Amino acid sequence: MLLESKITVITGGGRGIGRAIALKFAAEGAAVVVAARTKTEIESVAKEVSDVGGRGLAVAADVADENHCENLIRAATSEFGRVDILVNNAGHYGPVKPVEEISPAEWDRVIAVHLRGAYLLTRLVLPAMYTRGTGAILNISSLSAKSAFAWGSPYASAKAGMLGLTRVVAAEAARKGVRVNALCPGPVTETRMSKDLGHVLAERLGVSEEDQLKGFLNTILQGRGQTADEIAAAALFLCSEHASAITGQSLNVDGGAAFY
Ligand SMILES: NC(=O)c1ccc[n+]([C@@H]2O[C@H](COP(=O)([O-])OP(=O)(O)OC[C@H]3O[C@@H](n4cnc5c(N)ncnc54)[C@H](OP(=O)(O)O)[C@@H]3O)[C@@H](O)[C@H]2O)c1
């Protein structure tokens, strides 16, 4: 098993991509701590893990809140003794509007959840990882960090910021045994975030949701979206010893949409 006895914290682990990562990591022997705001969802994922003989823990947290982040890492450490792998996955798309219509509060909230949340949790897990001389951090960024889609400037900025954070922390951590990478998924059409976004975009464009999605998927080499399980497979690779020489990278899992 690729993550035998690893202790992992996965934010946004209650549904979608985070849930898929939690289940895949657990199937590879990891203990998984899933965090998000909706208690019922994280508890259900923790139960899915324990139902198949794994170790799961649900911790309610808003990753934009410093105290919640501290509580999350404290809970993970007190239950399992340490954190070996952190996956910063929690997030929402935020306002689907041109930049001039986005309020400062809307802007700040998106940055706080994706970028500040990743920073807060990174700074909390790194000292103990350095002491042990081992660890992995994975930031779930997006194709949006590398493309130019209208009506999501805070989201794209936060996701691009996560790539900067990934590189700088990788530079600081590389010789202390800790690897830091990012994933840039394309459209994972099965998730709530993706469906909600498709709905709003279709409305704004005055087309059907089906046509909006079809038009977008047609711009991708493979002509289809990605599954949460495909993103989880890439996450497993980057967090496992198979990726022992990979750090500071962003891996596109987008069916052929971004090429850098
Ligand atoms: N779906 C896509 O096409 C796509 C593409 C590229 C990147 N991504 C990224 O992948 C990640 C997961 O998205 P998804 O598509 O799986 O969406 P999703 O199904 O809506 O899941 C989002 C998860 O994040 C949690 N979350 C949201 N805000 C949070 C907060 N402030 N604090 C803690 N948890 C929070 C949600 O739970 P609560 O609401 O209960 O807190 C939920 O568990 C996001 O970072 C997203 O930007 C998605």
Residue ranges matching CATH 3.40.50.720 in the chain: 7-186+226-246
The residue contributing the CA closest to ligand 1 atom 19 is 16
Q: Which atom of ligand 1 is nearest to the CA of 61?
A: 33
Give the length of the chain. Answer: 260
167 close to 160: Cβ distance less than 8 angstroms: no
Quote the pLDDT of residue 100.
98
Assess whether the C-beta atom of 89 lies below 6 angstroms from ligand 1. yes
Mutate to test the pocket of ligand 1, among 10, 11, 15 (most ligand atoms within 8 A of CB): 15
Mutate to test the pocket of ligand 1, among 191, 227, 229, 250 (most ligand atoms within 8 A of CB): 191
Q: How far, in Å, from the CA of 90 to the mean position of ligand 1? A: 5
Quote the pLDDT of residue 92.
98
Quote the pLDDT of residue 38.
98
Quote the pLDDT of residue 136.
99
130 flagged as catalytic:
no
16 close to 193: Cβ distance less than 8 angstroms: yes
Q: How far, in Å, from the CA of 107 to the mean position of ligand 1? A: 17
Assess whether the C-beta atom of 113 lies below 6 angstroms from ligand 1. yes
Q: Which atom of ligand 1 is nearest to the CA of 14?
A: 43
**Nearest Cα residue to 57 out of 27, 88, 26, 28:** 26
Assess whether the C-beta atom of 18 lies below 6 angstroms from ligand 1. yes
Mutate to test the pocket of ligand 1, among 86, 193, 201, 253 (most ligand atoms within 8 A of CB): 193
The residue annotated as part of the active site, out of 119, 130, 155, 260, is: 155
Q: What is the DSSP string of 239-260?
A: HSGGGTT--S-EEEESSS----
Tokens of 247: 């750090």
38 close to 63: Cβ distance less than 8 angstroms: no
Quote the pLDDT of residue 250.
98
In tens, the pLDDT along 81-102 reads 999 999 999 999 999 999 999 9
CATH architecture of the domain with residue range 7-186+226-246: 3-Layer(aba) Sandwich (3.40)
Residues of the chain with pLDDT under 70: none
